[in-house]
Amino acid sequence: MAMELSWQELEQHHKLISEGSIAELFNKDKNRFNKFSMRFEGILLDYSKNLIDETTIKLLLKLAAESNLSEWRERIFSGEKINHTEERAVLHTALRTPKTDKLIVDGENIIPQVHSVLEQMEGFVEKIHSGEWQGFSGKRITDIINIGIGGSDLGPRMVVNALHPWQSPNITSHFVSNLDGRELSDTLERVEPSTTLFLIASKTFTTLETMTNATTARNWFLQQSGSSEDAISNHFAAISTNIDECLKFGIARDSIFHFWDWVGGRYSLWSAIGLSIAVSLGMKQFRKLLAGAHAMDNHFREAPLAENMPLILALLGVWNRNFSTIESLAILPYESSLNLFPSYLQQLDMESNGKQVDRAGDSVKHQTSSLLWGESGSNGQHSFFQFLHQSQTRVAIDFIGTINPEHKLKGHHHKLTANMLAQSEALMGGRSIEQAQQGLATTDLPSSKQQLLAPYKTFPGNTPSNMLLLDRLDPYTLGSLIALYEHKVFAQGVIWNINSFDQMGVELGKELAKEVQYELESGNGARKNQHDDSTRNLINIFLERRVSRH
């Protein structure tokens, strides 16, 4: 009942504040930036370009308090099984906890288990980097291919891509996830079997996409190398809980890395799933990534709600999604190394909070999650920014930039940052018809042409945005940034009263695909009464027009 009252208060407040604009709020308060910005170590969050005032934040914090956010926050860190549909704890935070800490789950301290795997990873990485680990022909490993899907691919792929300045000079990293054989085929064409190590990342070691690609890679290796199956152990490692299947595949027991059912796929890069990160960058940098995430964990757990960066980001998202009714969130990193970050956040956010049922099994009363998308700047300025500026669809935006780039090319970074800051200002301030007319009056165009063009030169503005400005994009800061969004998503799930840690929405398509796969592979076509008329015809047309390449 208390939450319903807070919700109603926010709805009434929005009616009042939406009569004005963000630009007007800046004109009224010259100290607005200081009121609506905060810093955590190397990350600055400026949220002043949102349609908010001090009353908005007060009411949003009241909503968080009445959602029992503080209690839920402690429950996730203490190992309680808050993923109630799967009866699991949610402890990706434990994966970056120092060795000296203690966390009891089901009567056992899990921290020693976590660090045992980290030590196993460290020994493995050292062998690869030193050249001690050799392929079947006695050559050192020069290429690693991570084969996974979802969280077993996207997280590690994003991190390795973002931190390429720290890439080991002796290792080239590749990632394969898509069931489309073209991705694996193209990757295999770039490597030699004698110097390639495959990392198979699958919790169950039965995932369709991963095991299809892994089996094909295994067959390719045996055919191209001319080796016996004994050589598999020199060129394949696994991250899995299914030890028996890994051993059957030919992977040595010492090359099987364990993780736990309290590690969700989209939160798993901190676990042994991050082995490709560790091999690519070195274990020292992987530990820095963990340390940055742990620092953000402590901030989220201990900071007062009003000074809590993940919570403030979450509340702004709730405000824009539920009260400003903005359905879409664009993630725009003005740092090309973060070009995969929007895709990573798509999975983190939409797979977690794209839900229609609450914790009691009832229909959710409010919209949840946002349609999340994005592209790195300044490329996006030459594609969809026209839409952001002048379409009738409003989009909330998170800009992400760095102050100190990792490259040394002069002149680039100031221009890049100028574009990012200018775009956030332009999207917020817009341009009125009077301003457009004044600008055109300074040109040599005839007055009739000026009058014609003025409407086309107007911009509605009032687009809300956050600015996340990083001192630099290094392993520690990236760890903090990822954890910031993890906790944001969790906090929003608490406010919406949903379970952010299951993903049952992905199951139906998988179930139906098994039936269709059987019909395609049998070559007999769609079985009678198994599908709708469209699907049945598409299956049959596919088989009729399919040309075998073998």
Question: Which residues are CB-neighbours of 232 under 8 A, at least 6 positions away?
Answer: 218, 221, 222, 249, 250, 251
pLDDT digits (tens, 9 = 90+) for 399-422: 999 999 999 999 999 999 999 999
215, two tokens: 């089996």
Q: In the chain, what are the domain boundaries?
A: 2-66+303-428+463-498, 98-289, 508-545
Mean pLDDT of 124-130: 98
Nearest-angstrom CA–CA distance, 5 and 20: 24
Q: How far apart are the first and last CA of the chain?
A: 66
Counting every residue written for the chain, the total comes to: 550
Nearest-angstrom CA–CA distance, 468 and 452: 39
pLDDT for 1 beyond 60 = no
Task: Please report, as a single letter, which amino acid is at residue 292.
Answer: G
Nearest-angstrom CA–CA distance, 156 and 239: 13
What is the share, in percent, of the chain residues with pLDDT greater than 70?
A: 99
Q: How confident is the model at residue 526 (pLDDT cuts 50, 70, 90)?
A: confident
Which pLDDT belongs to residue 525?
87
pLDDT digits (tens, 9 = 90+) for 205-245: 999 999 999 999 999 999 999 999 999 999 999 999 999 99
Q: How confident is the model at residue 2 (pLDDT cuts 50, 70, 90)?
A: low
User: Is pLDDT larger for residue 523 or for residue 459?
Assistant: 459
Domain 2-66+303-428+463-498 has CATH 1.10.8.290: no
CATH architecture of the domain formed by 98-289: 3-Layer(aba) Sandwich (3.40)
Beta bridge partners of 527: none
121, two tokens: 């990873």
227, two tokens: 């080796």
Q: How confident is the model at residue 3 (pLDDT cuts 50, 70, 90)?
A: confident
Q: How confident is the model at residue 550 (pLDDT cuts 50, 70, 90)?
A: very low
Mean pLDDT of 37-56: 98
Phi, psi of 526 (to 5 degrees): -70, 135
pLDDT for 549 beyond 60 = no
Beta bridge partners of 396: 329
Question: Which residues are CB-neighbours of 418 under 8 A, at least 6 positions away?
Answer: none
pLDDT digits (tens, 9 = 90+) for 67-107: 999 999 999 999 999 999 999 999 999 999 999 999 999 89
Sheet holding 143-147, edge to edge: 172-176, 143-147, 196-201, 236-239, 256-257
| 98-289 and 2-66+303-428+463-498 share a CATH fold | yes
Which pLDDT belongs to residue 113?
96
| Contact by Cβ (8 Å): 399, 468 | yes
pLDDT digits (tens, 9 = 90+) for 163-199: 999 999 999 999 999 999 999 999 999 999 999 999 9
Nearest-angstrom CA–CA distance, 136 and 270: 30
Closest CA to 375 of 349, 346, 409: 346
Residue written as token pair 């520690």: 476
Q: How confident is the model at residue 548 (pLDDT cuts 50, 70, 90)?
A: low
| Lowest mean per-residue pLDDT among 145-159, 430-444, 500-514 | 500-514
* pTM (predicted TM-score): 0.96
pLDDT digits (tens, 9 = 90+) for 353-368: 999 999 999 999 899 9
Positions marked catalytic: 351, 382, 510
| Most confident range, picked from 77-86, 473-482, 541-550 | 473-482
Please state, rounded to an integer, the average pLDDT across all residues of the chain: 95
Question: Which residues are CB-neighbours of 22 under 8 A, at least 6 positions away?
Answer: 49, 50, 51, 428, 429, 461, 462, 464
| Contact by Cβ (8 Å): 291, 160 | no
Which pLDDT belongs to residue 547?
75
